[in-house]
Homo-oligomer: A and B are copies of this chain.
Amino acid sequence: MEQLRKLIEERIEQWCDALPQSDLYAPMAYLMRLPGKRIRPAAVLMGADLFGADPRSVLDEALGIELFHNFTLMHDDIMDAAPLRRGKATVHVKWNTNTAILSGDAMLVKAYQLMGRDARVAQLFSRYALEVCEGQELDMAFEQRATVSLAEYTEMIRLKTAVLLSCALQVGAQCANAPAEDMERLGSVGEHLGLAFQLRDDLLDAFGDPQLVGKQQGGDLRAGKKTWLLIRGLELEATQGSTLLRDQLARPAESRDVPLMIGTLEALGVRTEAEAEVARHDALALAALDHLAVPEERKAPLRQLAAQLMVRVY
């Protein structure tokens, strides 16, 4: 994993260095150089490695996936009016909104330039890219809605977050000419890992150690964000006839009692349920990985990545 990450960082740095000096390209380098876990490009390399291709041979596609991911961050940050990204000013704040729109557009084109060597890879990529847009649309639509079901929320995070990991693994595998059945299994590995990862993120917001998580505890609850925890908590309250969470949400954000909300979720058993859901997706991911028809030793890096994503920091 560390080896793969080094290859990726070198490729990213080389790519950023070669960009022309202008406001169109500078925001791309700025965002790409923010320190990150590089999970998605690593997944591309692992997908290729699994089926016997040299990971080095798919560095372009790995970079393409990372560019796409950063393009979505650049535009999502505009849509969310987010001032900070990993502790640094977002592109639309550091430059301006128009530059962030245009540079993001050009970044998507740049991603396609790297994904376009193989028409099958490009088609695969387009399918998932569209799903990511659909996920972002649902996310924005849910903000305007009074209620969102657990199934709807899960579908939203599947599209917005999980499918890109699935796409990354499959792009690598496709470049290595993996058989169709294994492509599907690998897609399932990525999707379940991605879902588990996002649900774990929801859990960390409420129950994580703020020191380790690196953000304010209960920030999602304070903002009234409809996460898995809050949706499930409101469902359970409704069946039990209690209204504590609902009452808190009716207040303005700054006067919500966040510790009380966290305690209520715990008492309702939402934390336990969410942890079980995370474990279920982890297990499904590992089961799909087991069924992959490649020698066990080739699966080691992907198992390591899965283990890394499954680490709890609370």
Contacts and interface: CB of A to CB of B under 8 A. Distances in A.
Interface string A1-41: 00000000000000000000011100000000000000000
Contacts of A117: 119
A148 interface: no
Contacts of A109: 108, 126, 129-130, 133
B102 A136 contact: yes
A137 interface: yes
A210 interface: no
Interface string A109-126: 110110011110011001
Interface string A96-108: 0011011011101
A130 B19 CA distance: 13
Q: What range describes how many residues of A lie at the interface?
A: 20 to 34
Interface in A131-174: 133-134, 136-137, 140-141
A133 B118 contact: no
A119 to B, nearest CB: 5
A24 B130 CA distance: 10
B133 A123 contact: no
Interface of A: 22-24, 75, 78-79, 98-99, 101-102, 104-106, 108-110, 112-113, 116-119, 122-123, 126-127, 129-130, 133-134, 136-137, 140-141
4 nearest CB pairs, A to B: A106-B133, A24-B137, A116-B122, A79-B98
19 contacts: A24-B134, A24-B137, A75-B105, A79-B98, A98-B140, A99-B140, A102-B133, A104-B105, A105-B133, A106-B130, A108-B108, A109-B129, A109-B133, A113-B130, A116-B116, A116-B119, A116-B123, A117-B119, A122-B122
